[in-house]
Amino acid sequence: MRAADVPILSSPDNRIEMSFAVQASGQLTYAVRFRGKPVLDASKLGLDLEGAEVLGSEVTIAKARSSSGTDDYTLTNTKVSKVHEDYSALTLHVIETGRAARAMNVEARAYNSGIAFRYLLPAQQAISYERLLPWAVNRPYRISFSPRCQSYQDLLSTWNRRNCSR
């Protein structure tokens, strides 16, 4: 997939934009903008695998699929107990260009309040991961990460709108 063909994921209100690219080196990256201003500069996407090369460092985007939906769920012990939030989604199917030809899917969601993404590994030889690659965060924005996520609600990387209005 050529760089010009890689879709951009936008929140339902179009204020948040998450773009994806494969650098000349083959590294898969993403960046996030809020109201046209950079929040995350180009940050590497990939899994640092135990005993293997980073999955995401020499890849091509084979396919991209867009969708949308609504999350409805209940929270406990919080100020707001019921959440109803629309989202736009983009799933990238990524394949290594090297001899290993491992594959992964990156599923990203853009909400009006933030973004989230997760890695999905299709059935293939056993893969285990140690850590995620670092984010390049622009100040004064903040992000959060839940390493033991069960759902997107646990995974949301959000920032406070009060900080984004500057």
Mean pLDDT of the chain: 77
- Residue 51: band (very low, low, confident or very high) from pLDDT cuts 50, 70, 90: confident
The arrangement of secondary structure in 3-164, i.e. its CATH architecture, is Distorted Sandwich (2.70)
- What pLDDT shows up at residue 16? 96
Report the distance separating Cα 115 and Cα 153, nearest Å.
11
95-137 tens-digit pLDDT:
988 777 888 899 999 999 999 998 888 777 645 444 455 666 6
Burial 116-129 (b: 16+ CB within 10 A, else e): bbebeeeeeeeeee
Cis amide linkage into residue 122, ω under 30° from 0: no
For residues 16 and 129, which has the higher predicted lDDT (pLDDT)?
16
Entry pTM: 0.72
For residues 124 and 30, which has the higher predicted lDDT (pLDDT)?
30
Residue ranges of the domains in the chain?
A: 3-164
Show contacts of 124-127: CB within 8 Å, 24+ apart: 127/47, 127/49, 127/52, 127/55, 127/102
- Other CB atoms closer than 10 Å to residue 32's CB: what's the count? 26
- What pLDDT shows up at residue 151? 42
